[in-house]
Structure 1
Amino acid sequence: MTDRGPEQASAESALYVFAVCKLPDPAAFAGLPGVAAGAPLRPLPFGGLTAIVQTVRAADFTDEVWQARMSDRDELERYARAHHDVVSAAAASCPTVPLPLATLYHGEERAQQALLDETERFLAALRRTANHSEWGVKVYAAASPVPDPSPVQRRSETPAALSRPAPGTGLAYLERKRGVQARRERRHEDALRLAETVDAAFQDLAAAGRRLRLHAPELEGKGRVQVLNATYLVAEHRAAELDALTRALRDATGARIDISGPWVPYSFVGEV
């Protein structure tokens, strides 16, 4: 949906679109700076819906400038937080479809027409997510060290004895290696079962769910490994059930289960 191209480099302004919603309360955005200091946030009506927009300098959002910003972690975080603050304010005011970071159009008329073309998709997303929030669930299992299958030499043996393999040494090594592999496979199967158990329980509670890519082990620290990274769309009237479900699953599985939320349902507006 981003309408950003080479011609914008010389344009004076562009229209940044944060979200699409129904009947937003203008007071909800009071004091929010958006992504451009000094430019007010304002509504842009189209097809019975309203977009929350802000006029920005087009030169600040050319492909070249935006790619440079993406490589600057602090700068990217600043824009992401500003974008999220506006989307959250809209969602607190009325049902809202958040748009991706840096969704821009070259002119108000082009923005209105492009948004109007997507009206049915926005309406479907609003129906799907109204009175729902997104919750994140991460599950961790204890990381077990894998024993070394290499044969251990006895210190009391003489150098001459050490130069000759003891009878059955090769067979014992193979048996140890097979045992290590079997234990690794069992841990993998246990992790899969744990993930399926927790996911199935949350799916029963949620209106929809998505399983995300697992975090790399080195990001989780020693002693634990992530086995499930998922997000769920939960009706607001069922949100109170999440804590009880999480406690029950922790007791039943012995796993560490972290939940986060409620969030604006970013993960579920693009599936319609």
Structure 2
Amino acid sequence: MTSAAEDVLTYVYAVVPRAQAPHEALAGIAGVLGSPVRYLDEPEPPADAGAGDGAQGSLAFVVSAVPRRDFDEAALKDHFEDLDWLESVARAHHDVVQTLAGHATVLPLRMATVYEDDARAREALVRRRAAFAERLARLEAQTEFGVKMYLVRSDAAGPGAEPAPEAALSPGKAYLQRRKAHRHAQEAVHAQARLAAEAIEAAAARHASQRVRHAAQSGALTGPEENVLNDAYLVPDDLAETFRAAVTDAARDFTGVRVDVTGPWAPYSFVTPPDEAEEAPDERDAMDGPGDRDAPDTPTAPDTPTGPAAPGSAGPAEPPARPDIRRTAP
């Protein structure tokens, strides 16, 4: 007969500086599969904690107990084919991380980061303390904003696009002329979008400390519009409204494009420091894959914040609209 402790695993959402994260911050939060959320403190912080590594005293994992039957290796292989299950877990993961971000500097860990028990999770927290502390220091007093630009399609080809009435042309020539007009209209729209992107990037850079460029979204996430810019910016808290206003103003002078500024979000896109970004894809390849029960203890950023993340991604994707799990809405 198995004990209750043997039937559960320890699910880890994020790392926080314990002094910034009061117990009341977790009040009323339902975690993955409705599980209660709690802090798992390191045994005892080093005597020099906070001196040089940026940590503010002791660190803690934010954790839940989850059923082994849903998060062991075999179960995860099945669950990661189930989009409804993925969405549910990704949203719950994001809700916990985003709630904590309102109280503390938060370092999100990948969705489905699980350990055999609290003791194994605490060992990982102690072992990776210096890396976690350094990354928390880089993120302190900053949050993530998303900037997306879409092409606004028009049925009209534009002035002067049809130089001759189709009635005066053969069917073949009329078809070719329509294709030519459409191509010219598309080129004009994309040229306008490039100028708009340059203006937006220049405005955003004045008020942000870092930028990550994600792949453009497509399909159901964008609807009929074409997404041509999908960037994330790390913005100091005291510049958040200035950043939003600057980006919105920069886009105002351009026709044929629509710009969305979303946030603030927990800094999912900035978990990996800039000087490690080139190594992140290899790190992800080594860590991804269902059933990583002793999941990697070094967080990595998702390829793009859009859609559910695989086990081992740095948080839910751009929420599924930033909650794109974070975003159905960082």
Provide the TM-score with structure 1 as the length reference: 0.76
Give me the whole-angstrom Cα distance separating, in 2, the residues matched to 1:196 and 1:51: 40
* Unpaired runs of at least 5, structure 2: 1-5, 46-57, 277-330
What amino acid is the match of 1:97?
L
| Alignment partners' CA distance in 1, 2:9 and 2:127 | 19
Instruction: After TM superposition, give the deviation of residue 103 of structure 1 in Å.
Output: 0.5
Corresponding residue for 1:15? 10
Secondary structure (helix, strand or coil) at the match of 2:87 reads helix
Q: How far apart, CA to CA, are the structure 2 residues paired with 1:37 and 1:239?
A: 32
1:204 counterpart residue number = 206
Distance 1:238 1:104, change over 3 A: same
Structure 1 residues 37 and 201: alpha-carbon distance in aligned structure 2, compared to 1, 3 A threshold: closer
Quote the RMSD (CA, aligned, Å).
3.2
Q: More strand by proportion, 1 or 2?
A: 1
1:86 aligns with 2:96: yes
Residue from 14, 23, 26 that aligns with 2:23: 26
Matched positions, count: 248
1:252 paired residue number: 253
Q: Contact (CA 8 Å) 1:250, 1:257: kept in 2 or not?
A: yes
1:220 maps to what in 2?
222
Aligned counterparts of 1:173 and 1:39: Cα–Cα separation in 2: 63
What's the counterpart of residue 69 of structure 2? 59
> Following TM superposition, by how much is the alpha carbon of 1:20 offset from its aligned partner in structure 2, in angstroms?
0.6
Distance 1:225 1:126 in 2: 35
Asked whether the equivalents of residues 40 and 122 of structure 2 are also in contact (C-alpha less than 8 Å), the reply is no
- The equivalences for 1:153-164 within 5 A come to 154=168
Is the CA contact (8 Å cut-off) linking 2:31 and 2:92 kept in structure 1? Answer: yes
Q: In the aligned structure 1, how far is the partner of 2:198 from the partner of 2:7?
A: 53
Give 2:192's match in structure 1, choosing from 190, 193, 207.
190
User: Match of 1:159?
Assistant: none
Q: CA deviation at 1:173?
A: 8.6
Mapping for residues 66-105 of structure 1, pairs under 5 Å: 66-105=76-115
Quick check: 1:39–1:56 contact (8 Å CA) kept in 2? no
Change in Cα spacing, 1:52 to 1:228, as seen in structure 2 (3 Å) is same
Q: Call closer, same or farther: CA 1:175–1:141 in 2, change over 3 Å.
A: closer
Which letter maps to 1:212?
A: H
SS at match of 2:262: strand
CA distance in 2, matches of 1:36, 1:173: 56
Change in CA separation of 1:100 and 1:179 when aligned onto 2, cut-off 3 Å: same
| Cα offsets for 1:161-215 (capped at 9, x unmatched) | x8xx9xxx98x99888667655544443332232222122212211111121112
**How far off is 1:70 after superposition?**
2.9
Aligned to 1:42: 39
Name the residue aligned to 2:149: 139
Q: TM-score, normalised by structure 2?
A: 0.64
Change (3 A) 1:30 1:178: closer
Shift of 1:115: 2.4
Structure number with bigger Rg: 1
Q: Report which stretch shifted further, 139-148 or 19-28.
A: 139-148
Q: Does 1:261 align with 2:263?
A: yes
* AA of the residue aligned to 1:245: A
Q: Which amino acid aligns with 1:261?
A: G
CA distance in 1, matches of 2:37, 2:215: 37
Counterpart CA distance in 2 for 1:106 and 1:17 is: 11
Could you report, residue by residue, the CA deviation over 1:211-269 in whole angstroms, capped at 9, with x for unpaired residues?
211122675344x4322111111111001213421342232223321111111111111
Q: Distance in 1 between matches of 2:192 and 2:240?
A: 29
